[in-house]
Each structure stands twice: as structure tokens, then as C-alpha cells.
Amino acid sequence: MNEKKIPVGELKNKISELLKILQMDQERKPLKLPIWMGSLFYVRLFVESQKRESLQPYFPYAGFPLEWTRGDEMMEPRQRVWQLEYQVQYCSSIVEEGHFMEGAKTCEDSLWAEELCKFTDWIADRADWEQGMPVVFGMALEEMIRQIYDMGNSGLFLMPEPILQLLIGLSEEKKGEKVWNPSCRTGAFLAAAHESHPEWKLEGSEQEKEYCLLAQMLQFFYGAGITGIRRENSLEAVREKYDLIVSNPPVGELEMEKQEKFPVITRKIQLQYLQMVMEHLEKQGLAVLVVNEGTLFKFDAEMKVRQRLVEQFRLEGIISLPAGVFLPYTGSKASIVIFTNEKASEKDRDYVWFYELHNVGYTLDRKREPLEGSEIFQLLESWKNRKKMETEWKEQIARGSRKNQWENPVPQEWKYSHCWFAKESDIRNNDYNLTAGRYKPWKEEGEEVLESPMELLEQLASLEKETMNEIQELIEMTKNYG
């Protein structure tokens, strides 16, 4: 496979050098770079397809041949820009409607044009041309997007690689099924899922034009074509049914006139997304969603949505993620909610699996430096063995139980330090609170116990203040991007 021809570290260093040369940390709209890069990748591959049969299924037939001029060949700077512009426009004119190259443009900066050509050549020289689409182009584009995201000036949310692999691992109980990734952003999950499970029938939805283009590019350069990625508002999507839905719902508020779209009336986008997923989930289907922590404990609409989740679906598990896992985008805490579409009359109401994740394999700051001892493999093993562990929990409860700090029943002894269970009836008695710590068998050393409603309200006010500060930061960032 061609991805082995370029060591990951070498690819990362090459892209880092390119971003420094182009001074991307000072760009107001840095995502234009990977979009232009994707257009040049397409041109280079189109040229190669004219002589390589393995590439021809990916490209339209064209009787007029194109030639590629390498970046290190001497050429008058403006001539290179004009040549690339012509080639991009030509490819744009022959693709089908809805293709990411439709209406494509390239850069007008001669330095950028030369450097992007050189980088394209560097990738092409290391590609395996015998395996159809050389996925090294997809690897390069995805790494470029990730490095731009890490600069913190793109306004883009990108799922960290370890969390992507965690979401895929949690989803593997569904094999060869119809999969939907609403609000797919640049398509990182779709690309990773295709690599791990090429048999999955993947679809994605994304409303933002730039993100949708990048998602289509990644799908194409990884050899999956561009079918299945639609530019649309997921909340307005046609009511198809899916066996697996994986998403990180956006946060915000809708217009007043759109608040009655689902059974629980609310303007909060994340709560509408949860209900939208419920509507699109096939019978026996699985949903794996990343949600902000407030969704799990707040009252009013949040509690009503949680009630609907617990009473009308089978809540399989909750994974508490550490605060800072999504930096530099946000330092707010989040959790993963996992549920299946099983009607109340068809399921055995029993226990919900909880897991508290601490080490994700990198530091929980903006640097995100590698850490040893990632717990993700351990978490996935616990997820796979949760039925056996649930039986152990029941047996331990039968031998002797006590009350935890929230007055919920827990075993006198429990050997698993990161996971535990809660009975649905206990969740109901706790106003459908789904935070993992609510049902933890023990109090961690130094952990504060909130014993009064006043303390709970103060904690909630602090979270709301943090949210408002982050929104204000995003507003200021948006002003900078024009």
C-alpha cells in the first residue's frame, strides 16, 4: 500500500514546512489553502489518468490532453499561475454537476502556485500508482487540514484522531450497514470510517460550503468517490432511516419559528439534533453522539429530551470525556451518548454502562503533545465486555450495597476503576441526570461533593458564564474573518 511509502512523521514535517513558507498562521481564511490544494491534486491525478488505466474509472473521459509542469521547472511566475488556472477551469468544465471541482478556482499568488506544485510533485513521487487511487493524496490533504486546525485560526472544529478511532470502535457492532454522519464538517470521520470499514455504506451531510467541499475531496482522494456527501442542513434532511448514526451536533440556537420541529419544543440546536437522530434511526439501529455536558444534567428542555431518550429508546452507555479534549476549539467538557432504537415493550429495562475517560493519548491543552498510557483500548475492551461486567455489578450489589455521595445504590466493592453501571429506575429518580459522576461508586480524592441546591446552581452559573465567554470569542473570531 502506498501509504507506507511516506512515514507519517515525514509527511507531517513536509506539510509543516509548507505552512511556514506560506505563513498560514497569519492568513485570515486559511481553509482556502486545502481547497486549492485539492484542486491541484485533482489536476495532477487527471493528467496521470490519461496514461494510467488504474485511475481512469475515477475521471471523466476527455479527448483533450493536459500536461503537468513540475514545480521545480523554470517558468515565468505569472505563466505558471495562468497555466494552473486554465487546467483547473478545464477540469471544472467536464465534471458532473455537484462535483467538488465544479466552479473550482486556484490561487493567483505566484509563490503559492510554485510551492503547491512542488508539494504536489513530492506527494506524486511517493505514490503507488498500481492500486487505483493513490490514497496518499487523501492522507496529505487530511494532515494539512489538521495542522491548519491546530493553528487555532480557522474557526473549524475537527475531531481529534484518537476520538475518531474511539467513535469507530464503539460503532463496530454494526457491520456493513447504512451509516450517516450528519454535520460531517470536513469529513474526517467518513474518511477514517472508510479506511477501517470499506464495506460500510457511508453518507454525510454538511451545510457549510467550504467544509462540504473538503469532505467531498477527502472521500474522492481516499478512493471512495464523492457520492453520499450532500450539502444540506441535517435538521432539514429527508427522513431516511439509518442503521448507524455518528455525529458531534453543533451548539447554538435556532429561530423562534423553528422551535416546534420535534416533540420536545426547543430552540437549542444540540437538542434538536438529538431528536433528529431519534427520527432517522432504523429499528435496532445504533447512535453514537458527542454532546456538550450541559445536555446531560440541565433541566427544562434538556431533561425532557433525556426522558424521551431513556423511556423510548435503549440507552446503552455514557462516556465522560475529559475537559480540554477538543482544544484549541473549546475547553468545555463533553460526553459520548450511545443508544439503540428499541421500543420500550421490546427491551429488558436494566442497567446503563458508564465510563470515565482520563488519558486520551495527548495533553489536554492547546499543544496536544503525545502522552503514554492512552486508555482508549481499555475503554473499548470494557465496551465489548459490558454485559459480562453488568452481571458482575448485579452480583456485587446482591452481596452488599451502599449509597454513593448522590444517594444512588452502588456495590460495597467494585474492582473496575473507570466504569460502573446505573439502573434505569435510579436514572429516572435522578431527573434523568446522565452525568457519569452521578452514579460513580466512590468519591475521588480531592473531588468536591455538592450537597446543596445552591452549590448546584453556582456550578451551573459557572458553566453558563464559560459558555458565553466562548461564544463571545467566536463572535470576535468571525469578525476577523470578514
Contact 377, 357 (CB under 8 A): no
Averaged over 267-281, what is the pLDDT?
95
Report the percentage of the chain scoring pLDDT > 70: 88
Averaged over 203-215, what is the pLDDT?
93
Q: What angle do CA 316, 321, 322 make, to 5 degrees?
A: 160
At which residue does the C-alpha cell 502522552 appear? Answer: 371
User: Which pLDDT value is given to residue 473?
Assistant: 54
Tell me the H-state helices in 25-129: 32-49, 77-94, 110-124
User: Which pLDDT value is given to residue 3?
Assistant: 44
User: Which pLDDT value is given to residue 464?
Assistant: 64
Averaged over 266-289, what is the pLDDT?
95
User: Which pLDDT value is given to residue 348?
Assistant: 56
Of 27-36, 375-384, 463-472, which range is least confident? 463-472
Closest of 246, 225, 105, 113 to residue 171, by C-alpha? 246
> Which grid coordinates belong to 1?
500500500
User: Which pLDDT value is given to residue 454?
Assistant: 47
The answer for 259, left when phi > 0, alpha when psi is -120 to 50, beta otherwise, is alpha
Contact 174, 244 (CB under 8 A): yes
Strand partners, 202: 179
Sign of the dihedral through C-alpha 198, 203, 204, 210: positive
Query: How sure is the predictor about 478, in pLDDT bands with cuts at 50, 70 and 90?
Result: low
User: Which pLDDT value is given to residue 330?
Assistant: 80
User: Which pLDDT value is given to residue 359?
Assistant: 95
> Which grid coordinates belong to 441?
461508586
Query: How sure is the predictor about 7, in pLDDT bands with cuts at 50, 70 and 90?
Result: confident
Query: How sure is the predictor about 444, in pLDDT bands with cuts at 50, 70 and 90?
Result: low
User: Which pLDDT value is given to residue 8?
Assistant: 83
Averaged over 321-344, what is the pLDDT?
88
User: Which pLDDT value is given to residue 32?
Assistant: 92
Where would I find the beta strands (DSSP E) of 217-373? 229-231, 242-247, 281-292, 314-320, 334-340, 351-356
> Which grid coordinates belong to 158?
475537527
Structural element, H or E, at residue 16: helix 8-21
Query: How sure is the predictor about 362, in pLDDT bands with cuts at 50, 70 and 90?
Result: very high
**3 or 399, higher pLDDT:** 399
Rounded to whole angstroms, how far apart are CA atoms 458 and 135?
51
From residue 174, alpha-carbon distances to 90, 188, 229, 289 in Å are 42, 19, 20, 15
User: Which pLDDT value is given to residue 367?
Assistant: 82
**188 or 462, higher pLDDT:** 188
User: Which pLDDT value is given to residue 431?
Assistant: 96
User: Which pLDDT value is given to residue 131?
Assistant: 78
Chain-centre distance for alpha carbon 400: 42
Strand partners, 245: 180, 287
Q: Per-residue pLDDT tens for 148-184? A: 988 877 777 788 999 999 999 999 987 767 999 999 9
Rounded to whole angstroms, how far apart are CA atoms 252 and 118?
42
Query: How sure is the predictor about 452, in pLDDT bands with cuts at 50, 70 and 90?
Result: very low
Query: How sure is the predictor about 83, in pLDDT bands with cuts at 50, 70 and 90?
Result: very high
- Ramachandran angles phi, psi of 288, nearest 5°: -125, 110
Rounded to whole angstroms, how far apart are CA atoms 179 and 164?
15
> Residue 467 pLDDT more than 70?
no
Rounded to whole angstroms, how far apart are CA atoms 163 and 302?
24
Rounded to whole angstroms, how far apart are CA atoms 174 and 340?
11
Averaged over 385-389, what is the pLDDT?
95
Torsion on CA atoms 249, 233, 220, 38, rounded to nearest 10: -90
> Residue 34 pLDDT more than 60?
yes
73: which residues sit within 8 A by CB, 6+ positions away? none
208: which residues sit within 8 A by CB, 6+ positions away? 185
Report the percentage of the chain scoring pLDDT > 90: 62
> Residue 310 pLDDT more than 50?
yes
Query: How sure is the predictor about 145, in pLDDT bands with cuts at 50, 70 and 90?
Result: very high
Q: Domain ranges in the chain?
A: 2-141
Averaged over 34-54, what is the pLDDT?
94
Within 10 A of 131 (CB to CB), how many other CB atoms are there? 13
> Residue 347 pLDDT more than 60?
no
Q: Which pTM value belongs to this model? A: 0.85
Query: How sure is the predictor about 449, in pLDDT bands with cuts at 50, 70 and 90?
Result: very low
**461 or 336, higher pLDDT:** 336
Within 10 A of 251 (CB to CB), how many other CB atoms are there? 21
Where would I find the beta strands (DSSP E) of 334-427? 334-340, 351-356, 401-403, 409-411, 419-423
From residue 155, alpha-carbon distances to 31, 212, 231, 307, 477 in Å are 9, 15, 19, 34, 7
Q: Per-residue pLDDT tens for 211-258? A: 999 999 998 998 876 568 999 999 998 878 999 999 998 888 888 888
**366 or 126, higher pLDDT:** 126
Q: What angle do CA 172, 274, 231 make, to 5 degrees?
A: 80
Of 273-282, 301-310, 411-420, 441-450, which range is least confident? 441-450
Sign of the dihedral through C-alpha 293, 294, 295, 298: positive
Averaged over 50-56, what is the pLDDT?
89
449: which residues sit within 8 A by CB, 6+ positions away? 405, 443
Contact 207, 131 (CB under 8 A): no
Q: Which of 13-22, 125-134, 246-255 holds the top average pLDDT?
A: 13-22
Rounded to whole angstroms, how far apart are CA atoms 187 and 225?
13
- Ramachandran angles phi, psi of 215, nearest 5°: -65, -45
Averaged over 66-92, what is the pLDDT?
92
Contact 336, 289 (CB under 8 A): yes
